[in-house]
Structure 1
Amino acid sequence: MTLVDPTPREADASPRRASMRRVKASLRSPLGAGALCGVTIVLFFTVFGPVIWGEAAKLADLTALSEPPSAEHPLGTDAGGHDVLARVLSATRLSITTALAATLIGVSLGVPLGLLPVATPRRVGRFINSAIGVAMAFPALLLAIVVSVTLGVGLLTATLAIGLAMVPSYARLTQALAASVAGRDFVAAARVLGVSPARVMFRHIFPNIRDTIIVNASTGAGTALVAATGLSFLGLGVQAPEYDWGRMLNESLGAIYVNPAASLGVAVAITVTGVTFALLGETLTRVLGLETTLPRAARRSPVHSTRPAPDKSISAPKASASAPKPDDLVLSVRGLRVEAPSGETWKRPVNDLSFDIHRGEIVGIVGESGSGKSLTCMAVASLLDHPLRVTAASICFDGMELTKSGAMAHPQMTPSLARHLGTRMAFVFQDPSTSLNPALHVGPQVAEIGVLHGGLRPRQALQRAIERLRAVKIDDPERRARQYPHQFSGGMRQRAMIAMGLMGEPALMIADEPTTALDVTVQRDVLALLEEVNREHDTAIMLVSHDISLISSFCTRVLVMYRGSLVESLRTEDLVQGRARHPYTRALAAAVPHLDATPGSEFTTIPENAEFSLEPAQVTN
C-alpha cells in the first residue's frame, strides 16, 4: 500500500530562508524601522560618545557656571562649568553598559534558578518556588536599594544589586514557561526513553522557552537602565569623578529652575534609550514569531481536527486472532490503581485493574472519555508524576517487575530500567502536534534513543533514524530528517513517532488515540502502519480509543473500561457478533451508527444518568 500524505508547499522551504523573510518583513515595518534606527543611534553614542565628546566633557569653564543654553553650549552648563550636552553623550557608554551588565546578571542567574524545579525532586522544587515567590513580593528597585546599601556604594555594587534584584522576575518567568513545556508529550517521550533530567531540561525544555526569555531580556534592559539611573540619582551608584545619567540628573536637579534644559537633556536620553529597548523587544517578538501565546507547533502548522463519524467500514488490516502462548507474555498487570488528591481525600480514576497482553497481540482499550484509558497506559509506561499516585500488586513488562525496580517513582528510575523501557516499549501519543519537540530537527529526535541506549555515535544514530523514517513510508527521509516538526503534516508526525519507537526493538507499542487529530484517510494509513509493525516485528500493540467501531475493525481483543474499572475482556469477533455480556459494552456497541439504519431514525445513545455495574462480566486473558 502506498501511503499518500501531502504537505503544504511552504513546508518545503528552507527554515533559514523563511527566517530571513520574516526578519526582512519585520524590519520593513514602521516598528522594525524605528527599532533599527534607535539601536543604531544608541550603539553609535555608546561606542563613539566618549571618544568624540569625552575631552570636551572634562573641560570646566569657571566663568560659565549653570549657564542657560547657548550656541556654544546647546544644553547649557552644570554647576561645575561643564558642557551638559557633551557629558550626556559621553555618559552613554557607562549608562548602557551598566544596564546591560545588570540584565546579563539577572538572566544568567534567574534562568537556571527557574529551570531547577523541573530537574530537582518535588520538595526541592517547591522550596525554590516558595523562595522565588517571597523575593517577588519585594519591589525590584527597593530590593536593589537594600542590596546596594548592604554591599556598599559604587558602580560595581549598583550593577550587582540591580542584577540580583532582577533574578526573581526572570526565575518566575522561566519557571512558568518551563512548567508549561514540561507537560508536553515530547517531554514525556524523552523521559520514557530514559533521558536524564538535565538533558531533558537543556535539550527539550530550554530551546522552547529561549526566544521568550530573549525578548523579555531586551525589554528588561530598559528597566535596568531606569534602575541604574535611580541608584545613581540617590547617590548609591556611580561616584565622582565618574558620572552617568543618574548622577547628572542629581546634579542638575538643584538648578532645575535656573537651567531646566540640563535635566531635560538627560531625561530625553533616558527616554529615547528606554523606548529603543522596548521597540527592540517588540521587533524581536515579531522576528521570533511570538506574536501569539500559542505553542510554536500550533502557530506554524494547523492540524486537521475533523473527526470522522464512526463507521464499521473502516478496514485497516486485521491481525489473526490465534491463541497466545503463556510464555509469550509481554505485559502483566495486577491490581493497578491510580489515585489523585481531592481535598483531604483521594479519588481513584483507575481502580484495581488486572490484564495481560501477549506477544504479537493487538489489544484495544475502549471506553468513554474519563474512563481511565490514558491514565492506565501512562501508569504502565511510568509516565505519571506528582500529585498522582500509582500502586500495583504487580506490573511485569517483558520479564522485568516494574513495581520492584523504581519505575513507579520516575525520579528514582535506574539507568538499566530506563534503558529497558526506552528500547522495549514505544509510546505514540494522542496529539501529533505536541509529540515532537518543535525546537529541534526531526532526525536527531528520532535518533536520540540510539545515542542514549544503542551505543551509537550521533552520526550513526542519525543514519539509522533515516532508515527508520524510510521504513515508516516517509518520502525523501534524508531531507525530512533535517526539517522541523511544523514542516510535517499530522500523519507524518505520527509516523515519525512510530519510527522513534522502532529505533529500539519494542516488545510493546502503546498507541494512545493516535488517530484522533487526523482525517479519515490518514487514519487508515497510520493504522495500516501499526499493523505492519505488529506483523513484521511481532510487536504487541496496545491501542486506546473511545471509537468502538475502530477498535473492532483493528484489534484482536478488546478491554472495556467504565469509570476506572475493567468491566469486560472479550475477543473482537464476540463483540462484533453481539456476544458481549456486560450491559455497558452492549450499550457502547449499540451506540455505533450503522449505514443500513432507517433514514430519519434517532441515533441510539447512552443516557447521561445511566448507571452500570462496575463488576466485571467476564475478564479473561
Structure 2
Amino acid sequence: MRAALRSPVGLASAVLLAVLVLLAVFAPLLWGDRAAAIDTDSLQQGPSADHLLGTDQLGRDIFHRVLVATRLTIGLALLATLIGVTTGLVLGSVPSVLPRWAARVVTSAVNIAVAFPGLLLALFFAVIFGTGTIGAVLAIAFAIAPSFARLTQTLTAAVSGRDFIKAARVCGVGRFRLLVRHILPNIAEPLVINATLAAGSALTAFAGLSFLGIGVQAPSYDWGRLLGEGLQRIYISPAPALGPAIAVVLAGLAFNLFGEAAASAAGGRQQVRGRAVARHDSTVEEPDEGLLTVRNLHVSFPGGITPVRGVSFTVHNGEMIGVVGESGSGKSLTALAVSRLVEHPGTVTADRLDFDGKPLRTTSDRDLGTKLAMVFQDPMTSFNPTRRIGSQLAEVSEVHQGLSRKEAVRKAVDRLRAVRIPEPERRVKQYPHEFSGGMRQRAMIAMGLMGEPQLVIADEPTTALDVTVQREVLKLLARIRAERTAAVLLISHDITVVAQTCDRVLVMYAGRIVEELPTDELFTAARHPYTTALLAAVPDLDTDREAPLAVIPGRPPEPGEIARGCPFAPRCPLAEDRCREEEPELTEMSDGHRVACWKSEKELTLAAAGGAR
C-alpha cells in the first residue's frame, strides 16, 4: 500500500477512492431528502444555479441524485466483486484438496467458462436470475468468478511446486491446512490486486445492466439507471446524462488505476528481491533388510520418459549413504520418490519400497509420522516466506505430537539451539529472509529434528554455501546421526564431500546406479569408468596447475534420449560393441562392490589403475 501511494497515479486514485467512500457514507445523509424531493414546478429543467445538472421528469435534482446514488452503485459493485472473488477463489483452490477426478471436473468447468466473454456471461446470468438488484449482483459476480478462478489455479500451481510446500507435506500437514496456511498467504498479494481491478470492472458492468433496464429497478436508482434516464433527452439537455456518465468513468478509473499502481509496486518489489525407454529389472538382492528398502524403483512421466530406472539399495539404521552423479542423473528424483513427493503426472513404481518395515506407498501420513525427514537444497524456497521460523517448526509438533502452541514453540527453540543457532528465543520470531544462508539450512535441519526422525534425506544441503558453513552443516548431520542413531541419505554433486562423511556411496548415471562401494575404498578401488572419471575430474594438491583441468567428454543423456546399450558408452574409453547394444545389470564383484559394466573385474581393475597413474 505504501509503495503504491508513492506514485502519482497511485496517490491520485487513492484520493479519488477516499472521496467515493465518503460520498457513499455521507451523501444519503446530507442530500437524501433533496434528491427525493419532487418539484412539479421544475420538471425536466436544464442546468441552472439551483440545479447544476437539471431536473428529471418529476422535478428531482439530478446532481444530488448522482451524489446519493454513489452508495448503492459502489455498494452493489463491491458486493458483486466479493461474491465473484470468493467463488473464484474457491473454484481455483479446491482442486488442490479434491480427489484427482473431481479436480479435473472443476478445472474443466472453469476453462469452459473462461472461454466466454465476461459481458456475455453477465447477460446470460442476468436472464437466469431475472431483472432486479439481486439478479444483477449475481450475474456480475458469476461473470467475474471464472477468470478469478483461473488466476487462482495458476498462482496455486506455481506455489505448490515450491520446496516449503513439499516440506509441509513431509511433515504430514493435511491438504486443507496446507492450502489455508501455506498456499493462500503466498498468493494473497496478486489476488488482492486483481480483486481491486475486478471491482472497477464490476462497477462499469453493473452500470451497464442498469442502463439496459435489467439492473436496479425503480424506485431505487444507481448511476446506470440515471444514465439511462438522462440519455432519453440527451439532444435537448446533455447534462442529465453527462453527470452519471462522468461518475461511472471516474469511479472505474479510480479502482483500475489504484489496482495498476499496486501491481506496479508489487512488481518492482519483486524485482528488487530477485536482484521411450526399455525397463531393466535389477536381479541383485540385498543381503539383509534395513530401515529403508528400495527394489527396482522407477519414476516415469508421460511420453515414455523414465528418469529413474530400476534403482535398488538399502539403508540401515545409523548408516550414512552418499548418492553422487552429474545433474540429471536421477539423484533428487529418487529422494523425492522415497519421500512420496513425486506429483501427478509422475508415477512411481517399485517391487518394494519399504520404510521401517512398512510399505511407503500405502502407509498413511499419520502412521508414518515424523520418522522420515527431508532437508531440501534451497532453504530460502523451502521455508514459507510469509510465516515466522518458529511457527513453521512448531507446526510439526502441533500436527504430529499433539503439543500445544506454547509447548511446540518451546520445542522449536530447543531444536534451533541444538543446531547451534545463536539466540534461538529471538530467532523463532524472525522470518526466513532475516536468516543467513547457513542459518536457514541449519533451521531446515532443525525442522526435521522436531520429530524423532529415523531417516534424514539431505538433498544437496551444502549447495551455494561457503566451505566454512558447508563444514558446519556436514558436522551437524554427522552429529545427528551419532546422537540419534538416525540414518542419513546424503545427495551431493561433490564426491569428495561424500567420501569424507559417508559409509557407502551410490554412483548414479542416467537414472540408474552404476556402482556401489564403501567410501573408504572410493579413491583406491573404484572400478566403473564413470566413477573413475568423476574422481579424475576432482583436483587435489598434486594436480598439475599448468595442465588443463580433467573433464568427462560429452554430456549425460536426457531422460527421453536414452537408447539401447549402456548410457555411458558414448563417453566411455572402454566401450565396445556389446556396450552399445545391451545395458549391463548391477552385479556384485568378488570384494562386495556392485558395478554395472560388461568388462570383467580384472579389466576394470587394470583400467582404473591405469587411470590413477
Q: In the alignment, is residue 478 of structure 1 matched against residue 410 of structure 2?
A: no
Q: Which of 373, 397, 403 lines up with 1:426 in the alignment? A: 373
One-letter code aligned to 1:177: L
1:80-139 Cα offsets, whole Å, 9 max, x none, are 332221111010000001100000101121111111111112221111111001011111
Distance 1:273 1:291 in 2: 26
Q: Is the 1:193–1:421 Cα contact (8 Å) retained in structure 2? A: no
Q: Is the 2:56–2:62 Cα contact (8 Å) retained in structure 1? A: yes
1:382 is displaced (CA, Å) by: 1.1
SS in 2 for 1:91: helix
5+ long unaligned stretches in structure 2: 276-285, 556-569, 573-578, 595-613
User: Mapping of 1:366-385 within 5 angstroms?
Assistant: 366-385=324-343
Q: Which of 546, 561, 572 lines up with 2:519 in the alignment? A: 572
Q: Is the 2:296–2:352 Cα contact (8 Å) retained in structure 1? A: yes
Q: In the alignment, is residue 70 of structure 1 matched against residue 31 of structure 2?
A: no
Distance 2:403 2:32 in 1: 59
User: Mapping of 1:262-341 within 5 angstroms?
Assistant: 262-282=240-260, 284-285=262-263, 289-291=266-268, 300=273, 329-341=290-302
Q: Which residue of 1 aligns with 2:78?
A: 100
SS in 2 for 1:334: strand
User: Mapping of 1:398-437 within 5 angstroms?
Assistant: 398-403=356-361, 406-407=362-363, 414=364, 418-437=365-384
User: Mapping of 1:531-610 within 5 angstroms?
Assistant: 531-577=478-524, 579-608=525-554, 610=570
Identity of aligned residues (%): 51
SS in 1 for 2:508: strand
Distance 1:391 1:246 in 2: 61
Q: Which residue of 2 aligns with 1:131?
A: 109
Q: Is the 1:102–1:224 Cα contact (8 Å) retained in structure 2? A: yes
Distance 2:3 2:393 in 1: 33
1:29 is displaced (CA, Å) by: 4.0
Q: Is the 1:363–1:543 Cα contact (8 Å) retained in structure 2? A: yes
1:542 is displaced (CA, Å) by: 0.6
1:46 is displaced (CA, Å) by: 0.3
Q: Is the 1:301–1:486 Cα contact (8 Å) retained in structure 2? A: no
Q: Which residue of 1 aligns with 2:352?
A: 394
Distance 2:353 2:72 in 1: 64
Q: In the alignment, is residue 364 of structure 1 matched against residue 322 of structure 2?
A: yes
Distance 1:453 1:562 in 2: 37
1:398 is displaced (CA, Å) by: 1.7
1:385 is displaced (CA, Å) by: 1.9
1:555 is displaced (CA, Å) by: 1.8
User: Mapping of 1:175-324 within 5 angstroms?
Assistant: 175-282=153-260, 284-285=262-263, 289-291=266-268, 300=273
Distance 2:122 2:503 in 1: 67
Q: Which residue of 1 aligns with 2:459?
A: 512
SS in 2 for 1:368: coil
Q: Is the 2:289–2:314 Cα contact (8 Å) retained in structure 1? A: no
1:617 is displaced (CA, Å) by: 6.0
Distance 2:291 2:334 in 1: 16
Distance 2:80 2:289 in 1: 63
Q: Which has the larger radius of gyration?
A: 2
Q: Which of 65, 72, 75 lines up with 1:87 in the alignment? A: 65
User: Mapping of 1:601-620 within 5 angstroms?
Assistant: 601-608=547-554, 610-612=570-572, 614-615=583-584, 616=586, 618=588, 620=593
Q: Which residue of 1 aligns with 2:125?
A: 147
Larger RCO (CA within 8 A; separation ≥ 6): 1
Distance 2:263 2:172 in 1: 34
SS in 2 for 1:434: helix
Q: Is the 1:568–1:617 Cα contact (8 Å) retained in structure 2? A: no
Q: Which residue of 1 aligns with 2:607?
A: none
Q: Which residue of 2 aligns with 1:460?
A: 407
Distance 2:359 2:172 in 1: 17
TM-score (norm 1): 0.86
Q: Which residue of 2 aligns with 1:111?
A: 89
1:357-390 Cα offsets, whole Å, 9 max, x none, are 1122211100111111011111111111211111
1:349 is displaced (CA, Å) by: 1.1
Distance 1:459 1:339 in 2: 44
Q: Which of 24, 27, 48 lines up with 1:49 in the alignment? A: 27
User: Residues 376 and 28 (structure 1 numbering): CA distance in 2 closer, same or farther, change over 3 Å?
Assistant: closer
Distance 2:178 2:205 in 1: 35
1:154 is displaced (CA, Å) by: 0.5
1:182 is displaced (CA, Å) by: 0.9
One-letter code aligned to 2:531: T
1:279-300 Cα offsets, whole Å, 9 max, x none, are 432454477x454667xxxx64
Distance 1:151 1:28 in 2: 43
Distance 1:340 1:52 in 2: 67
User: Residues 219 and 25 (structure 1 numbering): CA distance in 2 closer, same or farther, change over 3 Å?
Assistant: closer
Q: Is the 1:328–1:359 Cα contact (8 Å) retained in structure 2? A: no
Q: Is the 2:51–2:63 Cα contact (8 Å) retained in structure 1? A: yes
User: Residues 521 and 35 (structure 1 numbering): CA distance in 2 closer, same or farther, change over 3 Å?
Assistant: farther
One-letter code aligned to 2:297: L
SS in 2 for 1:364: strand
Distance 2:539 2:345 in 1: 39
TM-score (norm 2): 0.87
Q: In the alignment, is residue 348 of structure 1 matched against residue 326 of structure 2?
A: no
1:375-424 Cα offsets, whole Å, 9 max, x none, are 11111111112111111111221222325xx15xxxxxx2xxx1343411
Q: Which residue of 1 aligns with 2:604?
A: none
Q: Is the 1:331–1:395 Cα contact (8 Å) retained in structure 2? A: yes
Q: Is the 2:3–2:262 Cα contact (8 Å) retained in structure 1? A: no
Superposition RMSD in Å: 2.1
Distance 1:421 1:35 in 2: 54
SS in 2 for 1:559: strand
User: Residues 301 and 462 (structure 1 numbering): CA distance in 2 closer, same or farther, change over 3 Å?
Assistant: farther
1:339 is displaced (CA, Å) by: 1.4
1:39 is displaced (CA, Å) by: 2.2
User: Residues 25 and 227 (structure 1 numbering): CA distance in 2 closer, same or farther, change over 3 Å?
Assistant: closer
User: Mapping of 1:27-46 within 5 angstroms?
Assistant: 27-46=5-24
One-letter code aligned to 1:336: L
SS in 1 for 2:373: strand
SS in 1 for 2:393: helix
Q: Is the 1:567–1:617 Cα contact (8 Å) retained in structure 2? A: no
User: Residues 366 and 500 (structure 1 numbering): CA distance in 2 closer, same or farther, change over 3 Å?
Assistant: same
SS in 1 for 2:204: helix
Q: Is the 1:178–1:205 Cα contact (8 Å) retained in structure 2? A: yes
5+ long unaligned stretches in structure 1: 1-22, 303-324, 408-413
User: Residues 511 and 466 (structure 1 numbering): CA distance in 2 closer, same or farther, change over 3 Å?
Assistant: same
Q: Is the 1:490–1:518 Cα contact (8 Å) retained in structure 2? A: yes
One-letter code aligned to 2:533: A
One-letter code aligned to 1:367: G
One-letter code aligned to 2:359: E
Aligned length: 557
Q: Which residue of 2 aligns with 1:9?
A: none
One-letter code aligned to 2:353: I
SS in 2 for 1:68: coil
1:26 is displaced (CA, Å) by: 4.6
Q: Is the 1:366–1:548 Cα contact (8 Å) retained in structure 2? A: yes
